[in-house]
Amino acid sequence: MSEYSRYYLSDNPFPAAAVIDPQSPDVRVNGGIFHEGIFSKEIENLRRKTEQGVNVIYLSGIEFDRGIGKSALMIHHLQNLRGEAESTCVYVKCNEKDKPRDAARRVVEQWHRCGDLWNAFKAAFLDYCRSKGDTLLTPDAVERLFVDFPTPTNRLPLNRYTHTRDSSKVAEGFAAWLSARLKVSNRALLTLASDYLSEPTAFLDSILGRSVDSIELYEACLRFLDGFGYRRHYVFLDQFEDMIMGTSRSSMGKFALEMKSLIRASAGNATIFVTLHPNSETSLKIPAAQDMTGVAPLDAVHRIDVMILDTRGDSAIGLAEEYFRHFRTGEVPYASYPVEPELLEFMCYTNRGLIRGFLQQLHNALDYGAGVGYPELTLEYAREHPLEVLGREVDQKLVDGFNKHKGRVTPPGPPIHSLGGLMKDFKEEDRK
């Protein structure tokens, strides 16, 4: 039985560290819990810009560097787009050491891992065999090969199903045919064709080599997908701000030029989604970054401002209730039980609307409550145990500010046991 069962919960609904990892099985951090009402304007804006085919969409936080929900919003949009027919969706989490070329290669890796490149390859190679009319490569034999090997394998036994004995020569002819048809680099396509016709799973190792131009490879694979079964592509570069902040001012020109090449390679059928925070956006406003911002300006067409939680409304209550709902095991007095709505509003206020801090504070509060006998967590209780429930001292000025913010007079409450107040009481008692 869960230690939270007396709260009618299967577990603590809130993450100890409110970070996003779409690969995690934990619904608390993989984007599976999402309150659309909080981001209704941003969701509609994202939908509209995506349908319009905007080349780059910036999800920008205007008040805090992190923790306002940019990544959660991005992953929610990705999950919605994944159901779209004849499209690809790839997610890459950037880091400060990445360059645009690294991001391009990792997108290609995701197309490979998801099976998109393999599906396009099967359709393309069959077309090639039909158009070539070679008795050594009959379409029937190739179709049988792909029935037996529907997914990439360590070794593709082409010579066992066809009369050809040299897969490298077949790859050269196939790559040349693709290059002429798609009007893209034969060199990049030859890497794909050579591996997929011999050792498909070796492709990831092959594209790590320095001799492979990853942006050229990205463009070739994108056109390859376009030509054989896919019409739209959605590329999500999460934590893009880290990649920018890891780029020195002197290197920004090269960074922007590579991003310009990546964006131009995506033109027509691909939309790139990136996250930004205030400091990274400032870095993109310098003249050295104009190669990138010239093709994808930081304007209303390309940018979506992601707002913090509304500290005057009930957005914090709704968000908490959504998390509780996923872990409920029984009927409760109210939807956010055992945390009363007023305390949720107070937590939101003290965190200045920052979602990450709000969720982590709730995790700690419930953890404390379960450890001391499962009390109902009210604002009054939090004022009596501020460090344990809220992780901070609470003085009267903070409470007065909260009530003023909500447009009401401060109600009478229990004495606030701040550290300063306790010291004052101790000194007065000692004088007696």
Tell which residue, 19, 9, 39, 15, has the closest CA to residue 28. 15
CA atoms within 13 A on the CB side of 293: 18
Which residues lie across from 303 on neighbouring strands? 58
CB 22 within 8 A of CB 110: no
Chain centre distance of CA 298: 20
Q: Taking 70 as the threshold, does the pLDDT of residue 425 lie above it?
A: no
Mean pLDDT of 232-237: 97
Q: What's the pLDDT tens digit per position in 357-389? A: 999 999 999 999 999 999 999 999 999 999 999
Chain centre distance of CA 421: 44
Q: Taking 50 as the threshold, does the pLDDT of residue 175 lie above it?
A: yes
Mean pLDDT of 186-193: 92
Say what percent of the chain tops pLDDT 70. 92
CB 264 within 8 A of CB 121: no
> Residue 284's pLDDT is what?
95
Q: Determine which of 34-38, 123-127, 252-256, 311-315 has the lowest per-residue pLDDT on average.
A: 311-315
Q: What's the pLDDT tens digit per position in 11-30? A: 999 999 877 888 889 999 88
Mean pLDDT of 185-195: 93
The pTM assigned to this predicted structure is 0.87
Q: Taking 90 as the threshold, does the pLDDT of residue 417 lie above it?
A: no
> Residue 331's pLDDT is what?
95
Mean pLDDT of 59-73: 76
> Residue 185's pLDDT is what?
87
Give the single-character DSSP code of 199: -
Q: Taking 80 as the threshold, does the pLDDT of residue 311 lie above it?
A: no
CB 244 within 8 A of CB 255: yes
